[in-house]
Amino acid sequence: MTRGSPPGRQRVRTARSRSAQSTRWLERQLNDPYVKKARAEGYRSRAAYKLIELDERFKLLRGVKRVVDLGIAPGGWTQVVRKVRPECTVVGIDLLPVDPIDGVTILQMDFLADHAPDRLREELGGEADLVLSDMAANTVGHPQTDHLRTMALVEAAVMFACEVLRPGGDFVAKVLAGGADNELVAELKRNFQTVKHAKPPASRKDSSEWYVIATNFKGRRESEESTKRPSDE
């Protein structure tokens, strides 16, 4: 601890090979209570507590038997699912490599690839009770572009959820500040009984992330009818 730092707070000296930004990030990690808690409890990331807190509020993991984790890396959310529901079937997908998790099928591939949804359904072996999406596009530093790219992932996740969820199933997705846009919220409301936004306490205050929680899927028949084009009738 350096002179002048608050009691118990660790300060990181700037090394020649480390930028000031990296130093600030490292210092934040070292002093983040959720990071410390994750290490102590064996979770791969502090993000695990976001799902834990969302589950405490929305009861997402109650009775689930099949779960899809979109953007699974590094695996914290799936660890929570397996801890709460150890008998649950979980299938995850991510562009990044993910260390194995006992009892979990992990696909390293692009969720937006044409054949990805079929692979996920094949590995799942039935209708899902819950679809989780912690996906976010790589940022380019332009807020509007970053928002559009992330929302494109959310929209793809919604389409997939409506194809794979059982009636009564739930969907959770990360969105950016301002939440899901009006058109997407309207689409979710057509397909789910309840749609809400939440920012769990584990989400850093300076982070732009929020989560949209859509519960009680109405079922494919109703959702397909709601999205028909006039020419389909």
Would you tell me how many other CB atoms lie within 10 Å of the CB of residue 59? 11
Whole-number CA gyration radius for the chain: 19
CA 172 to mean position of chain CA atoms: 7
Q: Which of 36, 37, 65, 174 is catalytic?
A: 174
Q: Which segments are annotated as binding site?
A: 75, 77, 94, 110, 134
Active site annotation includes 59: no
User: How far is it between the farthest Cα atoms of the chain?
Assistant: 74
**Phi, then psi, of 11 in degrees rounded to 5:** -110, 145
List the one residue out of 216, 152, 162 whose CA is nearest residue 187.
162
Q: Could you give the angle at the alpha carbon of 193 between the alpha carbons of 189 and 197, nearest 5°?
A: 65
Task: In whole angstroms, give the CA distance from residue 149 to residue 130.
Answer: 23
Q: Label residue 141 left, alpha or beta by phi (over 0 means left) and psi (-120 to 50 means alpha).
A: left
Q: Which segments are annotated as binding site for S-adenosyl-L-methionine?
A: 75, 77, 94, 110, 134
DSSP 65-110: -EEEEET-TT-HHHHHHHHH-TT-EEEEEESS-----TTEEEEES-
Residues tagged active-site? 174
